[in-house]
Chains A and B, each alone.
Chain A
Amino acid sequence: MTARRVLITGVSRFWGGQLALRLEAERSVERIIAVDTQSPAVDLKRTEFLRADIRHGLIGKVLSAASIDTVVHAGLIVDPRRAPARVVHETNVIGTMNLLAACSAGDSPVRKLVVKSSTAIYGASPEDPSLWSEHMRRSAAAGDAFTRDLDEVEDYVSDFRVRKPEAVVTLLRFANVLGPEHDTPFARLFDLPAVPTVFGFDPRLQFLHVDDAVAVLERAVVDEKHGTFNVAGSGIVLLSQAIAMLGKLDLPVLPFAGSDLAMSLLNRVLPLGFPPHLTRLLQYGRVVDTSLLAQAFPGLIAHSTAETVDAHARERRVRDIADAQRRRVRHEAEMEEFLRGGATKTAAANGHRPRRSAGTKAKKTASRTPRRPVRRRGDG
């Protein structure tokens, strides 16, 4: 397999954007088409942006018209603060269903699928095994909408495996991600001066460094690794340990019975956006076995869980300064664009002409830098 024509979903959010950036530097990737309902948050050069909804039936036509051989479904919304609950469900479940239906159609050129899922699928309960392997399933039914959606998404992936047995399917279950600029529920929780914890519980947690997460996504696209993989930094931290590393105060104020309710109340007072499935994680913890990933992608995870938390703590200490710097860089870029006669705010400003793929009726716009500086979005 020499050249690849890759389609990426969810490019307006963190993962899709980062992956597109990385794949642009990859020589073997011939063409990158990014699909989303909103413009990408990052400045993309040779990626062709297609404003389309993956719930739309036309997505199959895009696949065949551009003879896409690899689809990366990085568009799952994991952070409930990104969108209203109904939109999250629609995007995650209906979007996946439609996308995979298009991929598994008889005339579909797709022969490889990479899906970004979450270790949240294992749930968190007192009866859990200490380490989850990929083949294990949680015993209880899903207790919240997000986990239920995740179940359905992975069911669709299994269906796809059955319907297209010759295709390479890489299902990546990401642990909670921490990293600079990456806004996640855990990052918001750790930003509080005193971190609310569940009284009498000190869960074992795993984190994944944002750079490692992007590296795994990229390798999964470039390499041919069939299977399901847990993706997390090696080792664990206890919640109290993470809080100590961040230099915050451990505040065991959440009651162990009804911690969900207490957290939802807290969510109303503070803009945490901390969903119920993470509240259970805060009580019972979760650790996954990453040995399969280490076998398939040796040496790819550079940060252990403890190093990830440590890196996050360092980054948070200088965040104000870093933010100001980033703003300046962005302002300079905008000014340069203006000086170059950037009145025509098209892809030409980014140094490439948008190509038009034949037979596509979906509205298409070239990628461009958003007018307002936005923080990189993400999930996980």
Chain B
Amino acid sequence: MAELHGTGAPSSNGHRRRGSLERLRAELPVAAMSATGALAVRLQELTGRDVIDIESLQEIVALGYRAAEVRSAHRGGRYEVDDFGFDPEFTNAVLPVFRLLYKRYWRVETTGIEVVPRSGGALLVSNHAGVLPFDGAMIEVAVHDHVDRFARALIANWFGGLPMLSWFLRRTGQTLGHPDDSLRLLKRGELVLVFPEGVRGTGKPFSERYRLRRFGRGGFVQVALRSGVPIIPISVVGSEEIYPMIGDAGVIARLVGMPYFAITPTWPWLGPLGLVPLPSKWRIQFHDMVRTDDIGAEAADDPAEVMRISDQVRDTIQAGLVSGLAERRGIFRG
């Protein structure tokens, strides 16, 4: 509504009304925050335990504030996005949602993240699971909160054709899985996150969980060799259980041009409610980096060398999955 006033004729009346509206908007979150805080304390006194989690509450309020900030900063179009469409301000504004999922919902435990360099390019390589690419989002939260950098994930091409989602993914720094894109990003010294399994990984049935699929044709190794950046293997445990895929309606998938159409115990039976992922306990393990700068860019044209490194990375991730699973006592308790 405020934007409508902004573009309209600047009558004095309109100005006054906008002023009061804006003041109300600025004060509303503070009032809501203090009211909810009071409620939380009251409930704690009554029941003797944390009914409303103050920390999560802060995240939610931070989200509201950042969203308002970004909206006002973005009015008039005065903001910067990079060539890939990445908008850091917007990403910072939506990050609290994923941080809540990371901390509270999936209670992600991250180990070995010190290997991620604080500057310069690196290729993060992870296993891929869970129908929707939440694993990418969680890795990005981990990297952002521990190393204060944005990892740029390469997404499957068909995401680019989806309304809303393609927009959101680009805006938050993701780009399409085109070899030129990853080379460009790495040469600019960015962290690039790839899932060599691709849709073969996200679309695999529940019975085959944590069994790594083929790692493409080693394209990710070629990119790393050409740009001379290290490869950091990542094992994610827990992502396989968020949407237990018990079936694949290939007919529907073909009809709408998707690589698979997942059927889970809740989707599509419960409608949009079936899209709520299960709260499994997650472990993300960053492994020691595989250096490529001492091998040389010309090795990218040597298929034997490429496949050797690809297999090495794959074995590291698979071993990480096995050890992560061995440690896990229950899917949801962790």
The answer to whether A and B belong to the same complex is yes
Inter-subunit contact B157/A200 (CB<8 Å): no
Residues in chain A near residue B159, CB distance under 8 A: 126
B180 to chain A, nearest CB (A): 5
A287 to chain B, nearest CB (A): 6
Bitwise interface map of A from 176 to 205 toward B, beta carbon under 8 Å scored 1, else 0: 000000000000000000000011111010
Inter-subunit contact A200/B163 (CB<8 Å): yes
Q: Which of A130, A287, A309 has the most B CB atoms < 10 Å from its CB?
A: A130
Residues in chain A near residue B83, CB distance under 8 A: 130-131, 204, 235-236, 287
Smallest CB gap from B159: residue in A: A126
In the complex, A284 has a CB within 8 A of chain B: yes
> Given the complex of chains A and B, what is the CA–CA distance between A248 and B3 in angstroms?
10
From the candidates B79, B82, B164, B181, name the one contacting A200 in the complex (CB within 8 A): B164
Inter-subunit contact B74/A244 (CB<8 Å): yes
Residues in chain A near residue B161, CB distance under 8 A: 126
From the candidates A129, A236, A256, A287, name the one contacting B176 in the complex (CB within 8 A): A129
Smallest CB gap from B161: residue in A: A126
A59 to chain B, nearest CB (A): 40
Inter-subunit contact B85/A236 (CB<8 Å): yes
- The number of inter-chain residue pairs (CB within 8 angstroms) is 87
B157 to chain A, nearest CB (A): 5
B186 to chain A, nearest CB (A): 13
A212 to chain B, nearest CB (A): 18
Smallest CB gap from B79: residue in A: A241
Smallest CB gap from B163: residue in A: A200
Residues in chain A near residue B3, CB distance under 8 A: 249
B185 to chain A, nearest CB (A): 9
Bitwise interface map of A from 220 to 260 toward B, beta carbon under 8 Å scored 1, else 0: 00000000000000011110111111111100000010000
> Given the complex of chains A and B, what is the CA–CA distance between A241 and B167 in angstroms?
13
In the complex, A211 has a CB within 8 A of chain B: no
Interface residues of B in 179-200 (CB under 8 A from A): 180-181, 184
B111 to chain A, nearest CB (A): 32
Residues in chain B near residue A128, CB distance under 8 A: 160, 176, 178
Residues in chain A near residue B180, CB distance under 8 A: 129-131, 133, 136
B193 to chain A, nearest CB (A): 15
Given contacts A126-B158, A204-B170, A256-B163, whether A131 and B184 have CB atoms under 8 Å apart is yes
Given contacts A127-B176, A133-B180, whether A202 and B77 have CB atoms under 8 Å apart is no
Residues in chain A near residue B160, CB distance under 8 A: 126-128, 284
> Given the complex of chains A and B, what is the CA–CA distance between A27 and B84 in angstroms?
42
From the candidates A129, A131, A200, A235, name the one contacting B167 in the complex (CB within 8 A): A200
Residues in chain B near residue A235, CB distance under 8 A: 80, 83
Residues in chain A near residue B171, CB distance under 8 A: 202
Inter-subunit contact B163/A130 (CB<8 Å): no
Given contacts A126-B158, A236-B83, whether A247 and B7 have CB atoms under 8 Å apart is yes
Smallest CB gap from A246: residue in B: B77
Inter-subunit contact A245/B76 (CB<8 Å): yes
In the complex, B166 has a CB within 8 A of chain A: yes
Interface residues of B in 138-185 (CB under 8 A from A): 157-164, 166-167, 170-171, 175-176, 178, 180-181, 184
Residues in chain B near residue A204, CB distance under 8 A: 81, 83-85, 170
B72 to chain A, nearest CB (A): 12
> Given the complex of chains A and B, what is the CA–CA distance between A135 and B79 in angstroms?
31
In the complex, B75 has a CB within 8 A of chain A: yes
Inter-subunit contact A129/B178 (CB<8 Å): yes
> Given the complex of chains A and B, what is the CA–CA distance between A244 and B161 in angstroms?
24
> Given the complex of chains A and B, what is the CA–CA distance between A199 and B165 in angstroms?
11
Inter-subunit contact A244/B181 (CB<8 Å): no
Inter-subunit contact B81/A238 (CB<8 Å): yes
Smallest CB gap from A257: residue in B: B163
B211 to chain A, nearest CB (A): 29
Smallest CB gap from B158: residue in A: A126
Residues in chain A near residue B176, CB distance under 8 A: 126-130
> Given the complex of chains A and B, what is the CA–CA distance between A248 and B4 in angstroms?
10
Q: Which of B7, B83, B167, B180 has the most A CB atoms < 10 Å from its CB?
A: B83
Inter-subunit contact A130/B77 (CB<8 Å): no
Residues in chain B near residue A236, CB distance under 8 A: 81-83, 85
From the candidates A126, A129, A238, A247, name the one contacting B85 in the complex (CB within 8 A): A238
Smallest CB gap from A199: residue in B: B163
Residues in chain B near residue A202, CB distance under 8 A: 167, 170-171
Q: List 5 extra interface pairs beyond A236-B83, A241-B79, A249-B3, CB under 8 A.
A: A131-B84, A200-B167, A204-B85, A204-B170, A242-B77
10 closest cross-chain pairs (CB), A and B:
A200-B163, A126-B160, A244-B77, A245-B77, A126-B161, A129-B178, A241-B77, A200-B164, A256-B163, A129-B180
A/B interface sample: 29 pairs, CB < 8 A: A126-B158, A126-B160, A126-B161, A127-B160, A128-B160, A129-B178, A129-B180, A130-B83, A130-B84, A130-B85, A130-B180, A130-B184, A131-B83, A199-B163, A200-B166, A201-B166, A201-B167, A202-B167, A202-B171, A204-B83, A204-B85, A235-B80, A236-B83, A236-B85, A237-B77, A244-B74, A244-B75, A249-B7, A256-B163
